[in-house]
Amino acid sequence: MSGSGHHRNGELQARVNALLALAEERGIVTRAQIDERIEALGSSVSPLNGALMVVRSWNDPAYRDRLLYDAGAAATELGIAGGGYSSDIHLHAVANTAEVHNVVVCTLCSCYPLAWLGPPPAWYKSEAYRSRVVRDPRGVLAEFGTVLPDDVEVRVWDASAEARYLVVPRPPEGVEQLSEDEQLDLVTRDCLIGVAVPRVPVH
| Residue ranges of domains in the chain | 3-43, 45-193
- Fold classification of 45-193 is Nitrile Hydratase; Chain A (3.90.330)
| pLDDT over 90 at 78, yes or no | yes
| pLDDT over 60 at 1, yes or no | no
3-class DSSP state of 153:
strand
Single out the catalytic residue among 46, 57, 111, 191: 111
pLDDT at 181: 95
Q: Which of 127, 153, 132 is nearest to 143 (CA)?
A: 132
What are φ and ψ of residue 95, in 5° steps? -100, 135
Taking the C-alpha atoms of residue 139 and residue 143, their distance in angstroms, rounded to an integer, is: 6
Single out the catalytic residue among 4, 44, 46, 109: 109
Higher pLDDT, 66 or 11: 66
The string of pLDDT tens digits covering residues 17-66 is: 677 777 778 777 776 665 555 544 444 678 999 999 999 999 999 999 99
Mean pLDDT of 110-117: 87
> Any catalytic annotation for residue 109?
yes
Single out the catalytic residue among 46, 106, 179, 191: 106
Higher pLDDT, 83 or 162: 162
Single out the catalytic residue among 44, 46, 57, 110: 110
pLDDT at 136: 97
Mean pLDDT of 8-15: 56
> Any catalytic annotation for residue 110?
yes
> Any catalytic annotation for residue 131?
no
> Any catalytic annotation for residue 179?
no
pLDDT at 31: 64
- pTM > 0.85: yes or no: no
pLDDT at 13: 57
